[in-house]
Amino acid sequence: MGVQMGLNRPLDAQDFSKAPLELTDMELAEWTRTWEACMIVSQSATIGCGLQTPLQLYGSGISQDDGVRNDIESAVDNAKFKYNLMIETFRSRVTMALLDKPRDARHQPATRERLILYRLFNKEITEIEGKSLNISSATEVKTWHSTAARLHLHAFYLFDHASSEGYEERICALYATASSLIDSSRMLDERQVQFFDYCPFFCYQIFVCASMIVLRIASNGHFRSMVDATEGMKLVEASIAALRKMSVVNNDLPARLGDVIGFFCALPDPTKIGGTTVEDIQLKQVRNRLSVSVVHDCLATWRKHFMAETEGSAQRQRVEGGGLIASSFRTPVGDSPYLGGLSSIGDAQNMFGLDFSFDNWDFSV
């Protein structure tokens, strides 16, 4: 809508009047502020959905397609607004530079150029975090946004091959960043900000991503000995409670995702989600959702697990001629507070499988 209104071209503003439209300085500034606000919201939401939307600065009509820095100053004289614009500009550059374009890249080690980009972007986000913009009154919020930007960068580590240089260190750094974002979110909620009760959509998206990352790494047979897996699973448990707090109606998406995470926590074998080897951390099922590909990859694993269980139960019932009830064949999943006392995968399926299907999902986007 902003493009349709011409907000991105304030110097060439036109409307449907008979005479050409000439904006005053005050009107031009208002157009610019509105356009930058549109870019912040659009960039935040699309990255949370795993979509590619290059951030477009006002007046130029040029997208940052090649990860090139563009230091055009914001026309808004507001420190918090400027900081958010800096964060989203950074995330846009990360997306454009690290976008996994080749379809066969999953089997290739990270190139030297990619590793250099990691170092440069990590240095840049550290510099952004260190900038003093006179927003000390919202330090916690500033920290949350910078951590979310760092998580967007670090999540691309999951695309790299395990044989690449410094792979284990990068995965551990990713785990630390995801844990930090969960802690930061909890801190905001505890300090009367009520973060989880009124969580913005893009914040909720990044929070789910962080939760899935901690779950995946803490459940991996190789990395669980390198990170504090016990503390990590406590963070995952706290994430489930947070998602249920974000839920506004029964069985909405936050509640369902919390139940999915709870289901994985309840499995007797945690490697079902995290794998056993260092190679299992790499994303292999879904790689086209940018930094949130890990969320869709975990959901694909969850669905396969239920499909296999459903097919196995149906086959056993056919063999027995329907003489035995389905509960006779259910696989115990252990005790868990997140399954609400359920004792089997069959019971869990009835709880988690409600209208949550990938049949209409297009993973080729």
Give per-residue pLDDT as tens, 105-114: 454 556 788 9
The pLDDT value recorded for residue 347 is 45
Using an 8 Å Cβ cutoff, are 144 and 191 in contact? no
d(CA 318, CA 42): 51
Q: What's the confidence (pLDDT) of residue 134?
A: 65
Both structure tokens of 146:
């910078």
Q: Note every long-range contact of 48-51, with CB atoms under 8 Å and residues 24 or more positions apart, other chains counting.
A: 48/201, 48/202, 48/204, 48/205, 48/206, 48/209, 48/292, 49/205, 49/289, 49/292, 50/288, 50/289, 50/290, 50/291, 50/292, 50/293, 50/295, 50/296, 51/289, 51/290, 51/365
Which residue bears the tokens 């960043």?
Answer: 177
Query: Is the CB of residue 7 less than 8 Å from the CB of residue 34?
Result: yes
Whole-structure pTM value: 0.77
User: Which is nearest to 263 in space by CA: 157, 148, 346, 153?
Assistant: 346
Question: Which backbone phi and psi does 57 adopt, to 5 degrees?
Answer: -80, 155
Pairwise CA distance, residues 273 & 67, whole Å? 33
| Sign of the dihedral defined by the CA atoms of residues 159, 165, 166, 167, in that order | positive
Per-residue pLDDT tens digits for 138-171: 688 889 999 999 999 999 999 999 989 999 999 9
- At 18-49, the pLDDT tens digits run 666 777 888 878 878 887 888 888 888 888 88
HSE on the CB side for 150, CA within 13 Å? 25
